[in-house]
Chain A
């Protein structure tokens, strides 16, 4: 089977799964009893107000019609109007998602860097102090609740030391750079707005570190074990016996070959990042999609929750698809 038919097959599967995902999202929002209209207008509202609101939101229709509406809308990227912000949900997502994406990308850079360095150190100094230290360090990262370490870092770096800002994407009084992608770091670079770049960079440091440190462990673990495997190979011994410097052997002959499994785990890590982003965004008042969904959940803003959740599931599936695709390119045995 060639790579294109593999891709088409995976895409078809993804469409089916996404349809099921929309069913789950719809089910969660409609079959389980909670009263969004009541939450919106308050418990003591006169019945006619409740009825009018219900009609306006389309909740007076039979459930089947609501479902068809939701699905046909979702296909066109129309998730209705958010009850809370009064904007089309898709427009809100377009505003909030780049923030999450920016955070996740910077975090993934941090966690890949930390993970690979720690993993290589662990493997090269196996069962020695360095190994123990880096294993404990990375396991500690995955054991700490992101919201807790986030709070403590804010306390230290913002309140006590006053080195870094305490939340948000920019200072209160600065203007965001002209919008191209919605990611402030990238936009300010593209427009040459150094002021904004510095500001955005300082703001993203803490949340991205918290998020990235959280996913370091799995990358370090994979790198360590694949590095151990590679260092046992014959060509490493050959390289060593040729008299090459140790460093050269480790980095050129070892690390390059050990990184293939690491590449494939990045997709998994990305999923974990989206999850951690919900909590990180809450702690750092980062205006991203996770916070949007959380706020929607707490105020029973159904369109926002359904749209946001579906969108996250879509991105998550897309990331998995890309990883599968990469894997298929790297390893032909996977194309079944």
Chain B
């Protein structure tokens, strides 16, 4: 009896949120494309998490007697020029892709939010300076800049992740700045300051939590782009180096065998498409769900 009243008071207090959540759930179920996107992403996450269990062969060990085998029951996606099972390599690549997405999101989101909040909160000269720097980074097509960073630091997986992060932080900086400017003019910030709170306290406890949600939404919207950029760098030879099972590099591996052994390049490409498509469909859905004009 007692728990029931507790539950009731809980649901009463949070009714607006719960209704909102229910409405979101309803919108999600209504949009079939968003559902397809979510399923693709869940599938991708599952494969990435359980990849060691799913791989029938070792993704890196060479097996030259079995090289260039077409797809069969033993090798679902065939084997490459070193006899490595492409099915296993594609699965191993999913974990790598997830790793790249997470690291790039954390690093670029971190840099962007920090710079954006500092610029927006302090304003004046600091704001001008930081935003001009942001403009400079935006003046490059992002892939070109990432290529330059990656090549000059020496092409490998770590440097590629750093390079992509160094290019992608600008969007988050602009978002966080806009949000910080909005928040710092609120009356409650003034009252906190009048009680004696310092800048650091205000930034960490009051501005940062408010800036995070738009940045997080933008991060999810751009995850597909991160994979495409990483794959592009890998394809150009400026990203992960062989024998790392990175999807873009794998497509590039198969280039010389395209005519007779089409499967080497084709299957890693399918993996990229499925995951990026998933993120894009989901992102489109999220954008629609957050759009107040379409929401009600």
Contacts and interface: CB of A to CB of B under 8 A. Distances in A.
Interface of A: 13, 16-18, 20-21, 23-25, 28-29, 32, 34, 132, 135-136, 139-140, 142-149, 151-152, 154-155, 159, 217, 221, 271-272, 274-276, 278-279, 282, 290, 293-294, 297-298, 300, 305, 309, 312-313, 316-317
A135 B33 contact: yes
A145 B235 contact: yes
A24 B232 contact: no
Nearest to A317: B139
4 tightest A-B contacts by CB? Answer: A148-B269, A20-B136, A297-B151, A275-B141
Contacts of B277: 139-140, 143
Interface in B120-178: 132-133, 135-137, 139-145, 147-149, 151-154
A159 B145 CA distance: 34
B236 interface: yes
B195 interface: no
B236 A282 contact: yes
Contacts of B139: 17-18, 20-21, 313, 316-317
A148 B265 CA distance: 8
Contact of A274 (B136, B141, B148, B231): B141
A151 B141 contact: no
B273 A151 contact: no
Given A34-B154, A159-B258, A152 B269 contact: yes
A135 B34 CA distance: 12
10 contacts: A17-B135, A17-B136, A29-B152, A32-B153, A144-B276, A151-B255, A155-B262, A293-B144, A309-B140, A317-B139
A293 B145 CA distance: 11
Contacts of B142: 275
A135 B252 CA distance: 29
A28 B148 contact: yes
Interface in B221-280: 224, 228, 231-232, 235-238, 248, 251-252, 255, 258-259, 262, 265-266, 269, 272-273, 276-277, 280
B281 interface: yes
A84 to B, nearest CB: 14
B155 to A, nearest CB: 9
Contacts of B269: 144-145, 148-149, 151-152
Interface centre among B32, B140, B144, B237 (most CB of A within 10 A): B144
B148 A297 contact: yes
Interface centre among A32, A147, A279 (most CB of B within 10 A): A147
B149 A28 contact: yes
A155 B265 CA distance: 11
A144 to B, nearest CB: 5
Nearest to A139: B280
A16 B128 CA distance: 12
B268 to A, nearest CB: 8
Contacts, number: 146
Given A309-B140, A312-B144, A279 B152 contact: no
Given A140-B277, A275-B141, A305-B148, 5 more contacts: A21-B140, A152-B269, A155-B262, A282-B235, A282-B236
Nearest to A152: B266
Nearest to B248: A145
Contacts of A144: 269, 272-273, 276
B293 to A, nearest CB: 9
A145 B269 CA distance: 7
A64 to B, nearest CB: 20
Contacts of A272: 141
B198 to A, nearest CB: 32
B152 A28 contact: yes
A70 to B, nearest CB: 15
Contact of A279 (B132, B235, B281): B235
A154 B143 CA distance: 23
A119 B133 CA distance: 36
Contacts of A24: 136-137, 140, 145
B151 to A, nearest CB: 4
A279 B236 CA distance: 8
A300 B132 CA distance: 29
A312 B154 CA distance: 22
A316 B228 CA distance: 21
A274 B139 CA distance: 12
A305 B141 CA distance: 14
Interface centre among B147, B251, B265 (most CB of A within 10 A): B147
B132 A20 contact: yes
A226 to B, nearest CB: 12
Contacts of B251: 145, 147-148, 151
Contacts of A297: 147-148, 151-152, 238
Contacts of B281: 139
A132 B236 contact: no
Contacts of B32: 132
B258 A154 contact: yes
Nearest to A19: B136
B231 A145 contact: yes
Contacts of A275: 141-144
Given A298-B237, A312-B144, A32 B152 contact: yes
Contacts of A139: 277, 280-281, 284
A16 B152 contact: no
B79 to A, nearest CB: 19
A3 B276 CA distance: 42
